[in-house]
Chain A
Amino acid sequence: MEDSKGLWKIKYESDLFPEFGREIAASPGGENIFSCIQCGTCSGFCPLSLYMDYTPRRIIAMTRAGFKEEVLSSSMIWMCASCYGCTVECPKEIKITDVMYALKQRAIKEGVYPRRFLVPILAHSFFKSVWKHGRNTESHLIVSMYMKSNPFKMLTQSLLGMKLWLKGRMGIMTDSIRDKKSLQSLLQAVKKIQNGKAH
């Protein structure tokens, strides 16, 4: 745990969750995390590690050692842009991006992800929009994201939005597909499989 100054206190083994690493390793793509030699290639390659609270390497180490709370509440797992650079470069063939998905799912399941953090909200809104209309409408997505996180922030972005609208880069009309029913039944099936299989 970090104290108020952001410094680590000593970690007792009884505060850890020894099963956590094994559970993540059992999820799809997680099988190789115990092979990790902590070389840091993933963190070095990651274009976003600069902005992360923990680097991918550290997240893997902490996952293995059972630092469940720290890992799941970390902003890092949500920052992953899924570029798969780390997965391509990893010398031990760990599917790091897949591990991040496993951690994200676990965080959602346990409800411990950072609530005001943009990425999970964006993901939620995106999914909702696709579920409903079969398409993503960017203007709606942005508005919904800011409404749920920080409505005032929208003001600073409004000028850019206007410019994009005037140039025809962003519409206000809702995009949608014709056969929404079929898509929904398809997604429903996927959801069922996932719920049945993972956790």
Chain B
Amino acid sequence: MSAFDIQENGDFRIGVFVCDCGINIAGKVNVSAVAEFAGTLPNVVVTREYKFMCSDPGQELIQNDVKEFRLNRVVVASCSPLMHEATFRRATAEAGLNQYFFQMVNIREHVSWVTENEYLATEKAKALVAAAVRRVKVHRALESKSVPVNPDVLVVGGGIAGIHAALTIANAGKKVYLVEREPTIGGHMAKFDKTFPTLDCAACILTPKMSSVKAHKNITLWTYSEIDKVDGFAGNFTVRVKRKPRYIKEEDCVGCNLCVEACIFKEGKFEDEFNVGLSKRKPIYMPFPQATPSVVLIDPETCLHFKTGKCKQKCVEVCERGAIDFNQQEEFKEINVGAIILATGFKTFDPHRISEYGYGVYPNVYTSLEIERLVNASGPTQGEVLMRDGRKPKSVAIIHCVGSRDRKTNAYCSRVCCMYSLKLAHLIKERTGAEIYNYYIDMRTPGKGYEEFYDKLLQEGVHFIRGRVAEVTNWAMVPSEEDKLIIRAEDTLIGVARRVPVDMVILSVGLEAHDDAGEVQRLFNISCSKEGWFLERHPKLAPVSTFTDGIFIAGACQGPKDIPDTVAQAGAAAAEALAMVDIGHVELEPNTANVETVMCSGCKTCISMCPFSAITFDAENWRAEFNEALCKGCGTCVVTCPTGAAQQHLYTDDEMYEEIEGVLHYV
């Protein structure tokens, strides 16, 4: 600690630095007047105004003044502490002061950006500076604490984002737990046929990655599992994982499928989740041929044994390895990890909500995800485009923006639908030669090779009609429309309402957050946008971080995005997580609570209130005892304590009162 550090009643020498932030602050606040006013406050030795205080010359200005004027307290009036508190604390520390002998005043977000009147803005800025000058005098010298980090990483979600993130971290030599809710990893990408705009086969590029996840010695793969509980903080999370029973001993099953063949249901009878209901499966099934892990599972909802208890159990008979276990129970695993990556993905919009498009009413109206399965060589029709009545379509309408760009459903653009609609148009045209009509509002093809793909489709003679479809109907008005689905929309580029009869309709459904995104958000203590997408810490500069340190997000759980963007983001999240666990320790803000023992009455109120169990009771001395390692600095005990014995660093009562008095004195 430097010689200038003065704890109490000393000779305070305060420097006030006011930032213009270009015209962000100076455009509304009279910065010179604020600096001049600050100079009149007691103990203020020097005041400065500068265009960008956060710049290198700005920071040097602070450091030089600390030395030249022998300052022992620093106040910077600029932007939000979220933006630059760390910057100025570092500048203060490098000048030789304790970094907590610094106070930041937010005169941008709190003043210039939200105040219309220039005079009032300047007055408010002065009041806040006056408050900070009073507060900074009672600041205490604190040391931030460094705690060791657990080097393991948890990845939640086994779609392409989770797979890529897990592999990246595992390849760097760290241990990864990959937890997936479904019986297999692969996510949505495993269901797709081709990927735009290069038209390479999704399975061909995804399944090698899936098998390397399974084979990787650093990856522990838990499918059919969910996160049950998350405790701890950045660097030291304790996570409880619920492993749902699949009634198969995972380590014994080799995926030979003999049990599936032996099942007393001779044909599939129940909706196949992987083929989005376009085919049937048995109660014991393999989700799809390349499922990873290659392990079957039993659905207790449909299995005769679970429903009636009177099944002949042919599957048990046929399994030589004895892998079937009807008595399997839910299992809980507790793991410790340093960082968590959430890659929980999305769900597709349910078009039942837009009744005018007739989904669920007309059998030949499909969602785009159903078509992905239908054109897929491993799908229910082996890649042949056949409608539910077995006919090959001669004309197909693709309706864009279903559940997107619509305030009644989702106001946002789902970003991927234009491109996958083009891809499906190409695939269907290639396989059936049908006339394809794309109904779009705007064609959005922002990506490498995307616009060229659109041009290719135009030249292939696919029809593009600009206009949002009003309705899909089977009500024929001329003979040529009989037995067809008729699309009614305005061709806004020609300026005429058109009726186009087609055989098949594809609804290009948008992307939505999972129904339980809110629960996941609460479980991991992160933030969500109002649509349910997980919120990044900063949309430009911290796109994979969350407001909770140590928890990162990747892929479509953050917002709709295509595969290239998802993989890029997963790589970024992996790098951020690695950067955190690899350094071996984390710096913790010293904002922990402590107890003034003489004032503690031993009422135990704080103990029951503490959400982190950081307070215990010392019966011998009849007082509360605080464990600073467990304290997260939430402040609950401070407001609960009836005697004021519980205090929190950085937010002590005297600091708060001084700040309030500072404002009130000015006003």
CB-CB < 8 A to B478: which residues of A?
12, 14
**What mask results when residues 65 to 93 of chain A are scored 1 for a CB within 8 Å of chain B, else 0?**
10100000000000000000000000010
**Quick check: B455 and A13 within 8 Å, CB to CB?**
no
CB-CB < 8 A to A64: which residues of B?
463
Asked if B499 is an interface residue, CB under 8 A from chain A, the answer is: yes
Binds B, one of A44-52, A54-62, A158-166: A54-62
**Quick check: B493 and A38 within 8 Å, CB to CB?**
yes
- A interface residues, how many (CB within 8 angstroms): 21
**Quick check: A14 and B480 within 8 Å, CB to CB?**
yes
Asked if A10 is an interface residue, CB under 8 A from chain B, the answer is: yes
- Counting residue pairs across A and B whose Cβ atoms lie within 8 Å, the total is 57
Asked if B3 is an interface residue, CB under 8 A from chain A, the answer is: no
State the CA gap A43–B364 with chains docked (Å): 40
Asked if A119 is an interface residue, CB under 8 A from chain B, the answer is: no
CB-CB < 8 A to A10: which residues of B?
496-499
**Quick check: B493 and A57 within 8 Å, CB to CB?**
yes
CB-CB < 8 A to B500: which residues of A?
13
Q: Is the interface of B mostly helix, strand, loop or mixed?
A: mixed
Within 8 A of A (CB), among B442-468: 443, 454-455, 458-459, 461, 463, 465-466
**Quick check: B497 and A8 within 8 Å, CB to CB?**
yes
Partner of A13, one of B459, B494, B499: B499
Asked if A146 is an interface residue, CB under 8 A from chain B, the answer is: no
Asked if B598 is an interface residue, CB under 8 A from chain A, the answer is: no
Partner of A65, one of B463, B477, B480: B463
**What mask results when residues 469 to 485 of chain B are scored 1 for a CB within 8 Å of chain A, else 0?**
00000000111110000
Q: Please name the residue on chain B nearest to A32 by beta carbon.
A: B459
State the CA gap A12–B465 with chains docked (Å): 14
State the CA gap A38–B493 with chains docked (Å): 8
**Quick check: B458 and A36 within 8 Å, CB to CB?**
yes
Asked if B501 is an interface residue, CB under 8 A from chain A, the answer is: yes
Asked if A180 is an interface residue, CB under 8 A from chain B, the answer is: no
Q: Please name the residue on chain A nearest to B488 by beta carbon.
A: A10
State the CA gap A13–B466 with chains docked (Å): 16
CB-CB < 8 A to A62: which residues of B?
494
Partner of A12, one of B458, B477, B495: B477
State the CA gap A36–B479 with chains docked (Å): 32
**Quick check: B498 and A61 within 8 Å, CB to CB?**
no
CB-CB < 8 A to B496: which residues of A?
8, 10-11
Identify which of A12, A18, A37 gathers the most chain B CB atoms within 10 Å of its CB.
Answer: A12
CB-CB < 8 A to A12: which residues of B?
477-478, 480-481, 498-499
A-to-B contact residues, CB < 8 Å? 8, 10-14, 18, 22, 34-38, 57-58, 61-62, 64-65, 67, 92
The 9 closest A-B pairs by CB, nearest first: A14-B480, A8-B496, A61-B493, A11-B498, A10-B497, A11-B496, A13-B500, A38-B493, A61-B494
